[in-house]
Structure formats: C-alpha cells, structure tokens
Structure 1
Amino acid sequence: MLGSKDDVSLSKLEEYIDILENGGKLERDELEELLVSDAHIPIYRAADRVRRKCVGDDIHLRGLIEFSSYCCRTCTYCGLRAPNIKIKRYRLDKDEIFQCAQNAVQHYRLRTIVLQSGEDREFRINDLCKIVDKIKKLDVAVTLSIGELPREEYAELKKAGADRFLLRIETTNRELYERCHPGMSHGNRIRCLYDLKELGYETGTGSLVGIPGQTAKMLADDLLFFKKIDVDMLGIGPFIPCPDTPFEGNAGGEIDIVLKMVALARLLMPDINIPATTALGVKDGDGHKKGLSCGANVIMPNVGPREYKTLYAIYPGKGGEAAGIDNQITRIQTLASQLGRNISEDYGFRR
C-alpha cells in the first residue's frame, strides 16, 4: 500500500525515534522512513513512554451519541453517503439525544458527551444550540462532530457551550482529498479547522489510513500538518471498505501503519488527546489494547440507543457497538486494569 522500503539501518531508525522522544524534529522523508520500516516495537514503546510522561495513565471516556445517519455528502468511502439507498436511515429527536446524554452521565459518570452525525441539514443551528445548552447543564464537556459549517454557526455553537469539535480531514493531500470527497473543497476543510481553533474550540482532526492512492509520504505530510496547526485531538483509524460505496472493492488499511501513525502522533504532539478509535477496534479484536499501548489515551463507548447502533453504517463490522453500555464499560475497565491504567474522572481537556 505505502510503497517499497528504503534500505535504512536499524540504528538510523532508532536515532530518529530518539530524536522524537526527546522533543526534536524530523523531516518528512525521515517520518516516511519510519512509516515504511519494520521498526514497529521501538516506535510503540517510545510513544508509550511519552504518553505516560506527558498525559499520564488516565484513559478518558467520551460518551458517543450518533444522532443521525442522514448525510448530504457523497464521500467515496463512507456508507452514509447520500446516494446509498440500501441503508436504513434514522434521526433522533432532541429529547432522545438528551436522554442518552443524561443516562451516560447519571448512571456511568461520563464527563464528556460526543454528538456525532452525518451532515444532516434537517438539524437547524438553533436546534443544535438548544441541545448543546441542555446537555451542558449536566456538567459535562460537549464535543461536536457534525461536519462543515459557516464560521458564524461554529461561533453560535461555541457560545451555546460546545467545548470541542472533531472534523477529520482524512488526508491532507489536496488531490486525494478531493477524489475521496466529490464536490467538497480541500481549502474549505482547512478553513473550517482554522476557524474552530480561532473560536476557542479544542479542535480535533485525523487521518484515514489505507484509502486508495495514499502513500507514506502523504501520511508523513498529515502528521506535519497536524503539528503545524496545533491540533488538540487526533483520531487515526484504518480504512474499512464499505459495501455500496465506490471504494468497496479495495483492500483495507493496515493495522501496523495505523498504530505507527498513532505512535508518531504521540511523539510529535506529546500532550494531545488521541483515541483508540472505534474502527481500530473493529479491524482488530485487540485494536483498542494495541492503540492504548502505543500512545492513545481515549476510548469512546457508544451510549446511543441500542437499536440504532448498527444503523450508523459508516463501515461494516460495527456490531460490537450494539452491546449495552454496561458491557462496553466493563470491557474498558478490564482493559485498563490489564494495562495498569486508570479510568479518568475528569473532563479530559488537553493538558
């Protein structure tokens, strides 16, 4: 997927890792060499040391509510794309969204609620602001993941109480971005990210590893861009081919590359929040454990209505999310214990 490996000695790779672990900088070509190398374990171990030193042993839980599967976009990799008539769509109302958040806070003591959806134009900005305002009264942080909006609407949501915004760019390469996102503008995506930063949001973005046409050089550029704009959160997951999309016949992303991206992100940006993504857990049964062992410090249990969880079909295999919240939390607690980690009881803002 990422091209041939150059003949770089192990000692040179270890030198690169040491530079990063000690706060130094690498050029794009050097990051690319690490990405295509077989030096997985040294990178993971260095990232885990930096994670422990800079953000500690806490695992932050973010209660995820996927409140609408309607989307006006036509992204070539996503099952929610507007032309896909084979999936059953759903949309929660304001009361249902609040009830999910209230249950997560009162019964499971979660301190962050993540509201995620396709780009559903049926939700007006006033409705979204009312939802955010009501959830904020539960004494939680609120993260939004609802796509591209005008700057003034981001500002209204911030005024209503939203703390964080996740807007994944998936790839920073303009040509690949626009091939994967027909009708969308690479420049506008970047504009949105800068708007969010300027408005005071903790801003998250991320990469989709393994999309057709992606190279290691592109991934290295992604990492340098994320560092340049000083992201606060970074979600990195594998491409999982989805039926009834233009990319359905392609190979999926490689777990080792995803984990190296997570690890390098931690080394480059020591104090940010990095989730072990849902897609990582779907792609690999031990994906969350592996992610937490190479730099990640966040997991997002799905706290939405059980009957809708498998309908948010951005990629296949999300059935594990259909487990009740009790089962999800128990699994995470067991995993934390195995790793000698703690479940955080705070809001989990960037340190």
Structure 2
Amino acid sequence: MIRQCVHDALDRIQSSFPRIEDLETLLGLCDPDEIRYLHATSSSVRNDFCQERVALRALIEISSFCHNSCLYCGLNRYNRKASRYTMTEEELLQCVESAVKQGIRTVVLQSGEDGTATESISQIIALIKRTFPIAVTLSLGERSYDDYHAWKLAGADRYLLRIESTDEILYRNLHTDRTLSSRLDCLEHLRTLGYQVGSGIMVGVPGQSITTIAHDIQFFCEKQFDMIGIGPFIPHPQTPLAESPPGDLLLTLNTIAVTRIATKYPWMPATTALGSLNRDYRIEGLKAGANVIMPNFTSHHYKAQYAIYPNKQSKTESRKRLEQLATRVGLSIDYGRCDSLLPG
C-alpha cells in the first residue's frame, strides 16, 4: 500500500516548484511497493514529456591528463599511478567515424582539465563538423568565457559540466583547487553563449545527505538544464576517498526518478557508473526515468587508462546490444541528434 504522503509529495512536485520536505520524502523511500510506484511515475513522466525513446551519445575520452586534485577522481594530478595519454587528431576522428557508422549522431568529447590550447580544440570541433553530420558535445571542465565562445563559434553544440554539489562546504571538501562560485559562473557562461547545457551530481560522496541532494534537485529545477547526469560515487583506490563506501544504488535510482519527475524535460543518462558496479544497472536507471545511453567509443588501448573510478564499464557495444537495452524497458532507440526538449 502506498502511503498518502507519498501520493501527496508526488502530486506537489509535478505541479509546482518542489519543496525540500517532499523531495526528502521521495528520495528516502525504501519500501519496495513505494519504490516501484515512484519509478513507474518517473517513467510515465519521461514518456509524456520526452517520448518513449532512448538517445545515444558516443563517449570519446580524448585525454587523461588533468591539472585538478578532486578528491574522488582517479585522474587527479597527485595520482602517480594514473596512466596518461592524449589522443591524436587521427585517432579521435577514427573514434568519431566508428560511432557514426553505428548510426549515432552525437559525440561527447571528454577529458581531464589538461590545459589543451583553445585553438587546438576549436580545430578538432570544426574538423568533426565538416566531416560528419553530427552534434558535438564537450565535457572539458572549467574554462574561460573566451574559450567557451571560441568553441561555440567552431561548431560545438552542447557542454556537460556537473555541479557535483550546490552545498558550498561539501563542494570545497571535495575540490581543493576549485570553488562552487567558479562552477556556477561557467554554467552561466555556457547558457549565455547558447550551448545546450548539462549538469549533474554523484550520489553518495562523503558528507552528502538526502537534504543536500534535495537542494541539488531544486537547483536543477531552477536552472532548467537540457541534460542532467546522475550516477553513484565509486571510490578510486588511488584517491583520498579510497576507503569511503560507494554510493547507495537505491538512493541513486531514487535521485534519478525524483529529478525526472521534478524537471520533466532533460535528457538523463543511465550513466556509465551505473554500468560499472557489481553488475550493469543501466536497465534500472532507464526504469527510473533515464533516457540516454552513452556507449564508449574511446580507442580500445586508451579505455582502461581513463580511470575516473575503477572497473569502469568500457566495452564497445554493438547496435543490436544497445537496441536490446532500450527494448527491455519498452523504449526504442532514437538515432537522431536528440537536441534539447525544453519548451521555447
């Protein structure tokens, strides 16, 4: 039996700006019937506002160098055991071509914050856009307004920059050389420049609470991001958080579901992190309201070196396998660009 408070909380967050207490109620659900009801509601909201489909974004990890020292990330500059690489232009284009041959119309170029020259990235973007009829998403971290502007002029369509936490103290505890204010400034710059903008959080980092997550979801509602990525924290053995427990799977799935219901329109991935636990939980992510799969098209000899967290799911998946993932939850693959769904 579903408690009346759950019905009421769901009704309220669908019809108005969500209250913290309603978000906390839904995030903390642990009764199996109530969880199924929450996730079914989320799937229904996704289908109503985004259609019954899954978008594909080809992930290409172009460099594992990073100047940052984020406490949770295996690419942090203090990890002397990390393997470092930077793809050549030829290697990158081969990865893009492989994705296009599978019918994928969006690539995501991701790297650590390695300080690559602005013009080099601009040249890569322009070359991809001249060669292939696809959307280009960047996930290159914090850069200046002028850098973002140059990349937009070169043809970049989207940018992913996870907020990680809207709690200033928690953010400072996780990032020794970054501030929440600079992250917020970057997100504003990207929106001003006309990017389709994505953000998101990890669930389960030390110091995070359900209330923290509830405030993050309010932030997502306020900013109306085009894309929101939510995945579990997975501790990396060569980081200061190595001995911390991993993020709770149920809370991660509830966070996806509640975020979907509250925000309605974003493209939300069943993240690679969900596929990198003791088994592949991306199906559960789709059932909770996600509608994006990000198959990894990084060159095979580099995949293991891009180790943000251990045991990362990085197997190249066939078109048939991706379609099967979608079919298992009653969805179909949309092989278009799948641009922003936000009204207006």
Report the TM-score range of the alignment, normalised by the length of the smaller protein: over 0.9
Unaligned runs of 5+ in 2: none
- Please state whether the residue corresponding to 1:347 is helix, strand or coil: coil
The CA distance in 2 between the partners of 1:104 and 1:181, in whole Å, is 33
Cα distance, 1:42 vs structure 2:
1.6
Q: Residue 255 of structure 1 contacts residue 284 of structure 1 at CA under 8 Å; is this kept in 2?
A: no
The CA distance in 2 between the partners of 1:196 and 1:311, in whole Å, is 29
Mapping 1:239-318, distance limit 5 Å: 239-283=233-277, 285-318=279-312
The residue type paired with residue 35 of structure 1 is: L
Match of residue 39 from structure 2? 44
- Please state whether the residue corresponding to 1:311 is helix, strand or coil: coil
Segments of 4+ moved more than 6 angstroms: none
Match of residue 127 from structure 1? 120
**CA-to-aligned-CA distance 1:164-205 (integer Å, 9 cap, x gap):** 000011111101101100011110000000111111111001
Answering whether residue 44 of structure 2 is matched by residue 54 of structure 1, we say no
The alignment's TM-score, normalised by the length of structure 2, stands at 0.95
The CA distance in 1 between the partners of 2:59 and 2:340, in whole Å, is 19
- Please state whether the residue corresponding to 2:285 is helix, strand or coil: helix
- Please state whether the residue corresponding to 1:253 is helix, strand or coil: coil
Q: Residue 201 of structure 2 contacts residue 230 of structure 2 at CA under 8 Å; is this kept in 1?
A: yes
Cα distance, 1:37 vs structure 2:
2.6
Mapping 1:73-92, distance limit 5 Å: 73-92=68-87
**CA-to-aligned-CA distance 1:41-70 (integer Å, 9 cap, x gap):** 221111000011111111110011001000
The CA distance in 2 between the partners of 1:299 and 1:192, in whole Å, is 25
The alignment's TM-score, normalised by the length of structure 1, stands at 0.93
Q: Residue 204 of structure 2 contacts residue 247 of structure 2 at CA under 8 Å; is this kept in 1?
A: yes
Match of residue 93 from structure 2? 98
The CA distance in 2 between the partners of 1:61 and 1:37, in whole Å, is 30
**CA-to-aligned-CA distance 1:218-258 (integer Å, 9 cap, x gap):** 10000001111111100001000101100000100011111
Q: Residue 14 of structure 1 contacts residue 42 of structure 1 at CA under 8 Å; is this kept in 2?
A: no
The residue type paired with residue 28 of structure 2 is: V
Give the % identical residues: 38
Q: What is the aligned length? A: 336
- Going from structure 1 to structure 2, the CA distance change for 1:33 and 1:325 (only over 3 Å counts) comes to closer
The CA distance in 2 between the partners of 1:188 and 1:17, in whole Å, is 34
The residue type paired with residue 103 of structure 2 is: R
Q: Which of 17, 23, 42 matches 1:25?
A: 17
Cα distance, 1:337 vs structure 2:
2.0
Match of residue 226 from structure 1? 220
The CA distance in 1 between the partners of 2:271 and 2:316, in whole Å, is 18
Match of residue 331 from structure 1? 321
